[in-house]
Amino acid sequence: MKSSSLKVLLLGYGNVGKALRRMIKERAPSLGLNVTIEGVVTRRGIMLGDSEEFRKTREGTPLDALNLVNPDLVVDVSSANYETGEPSVSLYMEALSRGTSVITANKAPLALKYGDIMNQARKHGASIGFQATVMSGTPSINLIRLLQGSTILKIRGILNGTTNYILTRMDQGLDYSQALREAQEKGYAEANPEHDVNGFDAAAKLTILTNFAMNRNISIKDVDFSGIVNVTPSRIEEAKRRSRKLKLVAVSEGKTSRVSLTEVSPEDPLYHVDGVTNTLDIHSDIQEVVITGPGAGPQNAAFGVFSDMVLMSRGLI
């Protein structure tokens, strides 16, 4: 979809959506882009037009909003529904069937229905951008776009900042409950951190990466994942005695995809990644490429979406 003028429908309008709105207004004009938010749809209803605060103008569903706005681009910054992926999946499938492109920061639809969504986009000549689903604004998906011509054999990484922060603080002497509480106080962990600490979030991101980088068609149900809830200070100390650290590492190689607690040595690029930082280590038949950066935060996620918007407007996605 090559166009410098975009009419956008937003699904969701929380912190990421508002950060994206600001970014569009501040940055799009200098890039020669004319982006207008024509409507926003949330659980509360539909807002036609653009406003800093959500003001419902009528009742309706995401599909109603699609019909009302008739956008060039649907942008999904809503919260994830890992049960069914709805209402996002149905919105994507209908939008794509009309040739309307989609950009998403929402991991759930692609973690559950990657093949269906991508096939729909190809069938109708539409594009889908999803950089923000993995490592937020740090170019993971869009780095892989640049590696065309090579065959990616293995991907591994630290894909969840919450668990990496907890493990880092445990390495520094806290126990699990202390480290989790501190992460929650700093806003790095949700009040209910289950999807992070049990490995689910990292598995969702690994699903998307694996499908895109390695031309697979798996769902999150095909990923063997475990988390960090049973890590004890003694386990941390055992690793330290061997000059190693414990990390929650996501790996895909061959037909196997897993997320598990792993000891890493100082020679490993993942060893030095601490706090909420994420890292992706890509092994191809040509070279190894490692990218490190923030993996969360409203501004970062908004940038992931915005970067896709810029690339899409130039026909690069």
What's 57's domain CATH number?
3.40.50.720
Asked if the bond preceding 87 is cis, omega within 30° of 0, the reply is: yes
Band (pLDDT 50/70/90 cuts) for residue 273 is: very high
Strands 224-225 and 256-264 come out as: parallel
Is 119 part of any domain?
Answer: yes
Band (pLDDT 50/70/90 cuts) for residue 295 is: confident
Q: What is the pLDDT of residue 211?
A: 98
The answer to whether residues 22 and 115 belong to one domain is: yes
- Count of domains in the chain? 2
Is 275 part of any domain?
Answer: yes
Q: What is the pLDDT of residue 296?
A: 83
Q: Nearest 5°: CA angle at 242, between 236 and 243? A: 85
- Is residue 190's pLDDT more than 90? no
Domain that holds residue 88: 5-137+298-313
The answer to whether residues 307 and 185 belong to one domain is: no
The answer to whether residues 287 and 161 belong to one domain is: yes
CA–CA dist 203, 157 (Å, integer) = 11
Q: How far apart are the first and last CA of the chain?
A: 8
CA–CA dist 166, 208 (Å, integer) = 24
Is 142 part of any domain?
Answer: no
Q: What is the pLDDT of residue 89?
A: 98
Is 225 part of any domain?
Answer: yes
State the chain's mean pLDDT as an integer.
96
Q: Is the pTM of this model over 0.75?
A: yes
- Is residue 1's pLDDT more than 80? no
The answer to whether residues 282 and 304 belong to one domain is: no
> φ and ψ at 178, to 5 degrees?
-65, -45
Band (pLDDT 50/70/90 cuts) for residue 249 is: very high
Is 143 part of any domain?
Answer: no
- Is residue 100's pLDDT more than 80? yes
> φ and ψ at 39, to 5 degrees?
-170, 155
Q: What CATH number does residue 219 fall under?
A: 3.30.360.10
Residue 107 designated active-site = no
The answer to whether residues 237 and 189 belong to one domain is: yes
Sheet strands (E) in the chain: 5-11, 34-42, 45-48, 73-76, 101-104, 128-129, 152-158, 224-225, 245-253, 256-264, 277-284, 288-294
The answer to whether residues 224 and 162 belong to one domain is: yes
The answer to whether residues 195 and 236 belong to one domain is: yes
- The one-letter amino acid at 195: H
CA–CA dist 211, 226 (Å, integer) = 20
The answer to whether residues 129 and 164 belong to one domain is: no
The answer to whether residues 121 and 173 belong to one domain is: no
- Is residue 297's pLDDT more than 90? no
Is 144 part of any domain?
Answer: no
The answer to whether residues 190 and 286 belong to one domain is: yes
The answer to whether residues 197 and 288 belong to one domain is: yes
| Residues facing 2 on adjacent strands | 314
Is 175 part of any domain?
Answer: yes
CA–CA dist 190, 171 (Å, integer) = 21
Task: Catalytic residue, from 56, 113, 154, 205: name it.
Answer: 205
Is 284 part of any domain?
Answer: yes
The answer to whether residues 264 and 178 belong to one domain is: yes
Band (pLDDT 50/70/90 cuts) for residue 241 is: very high
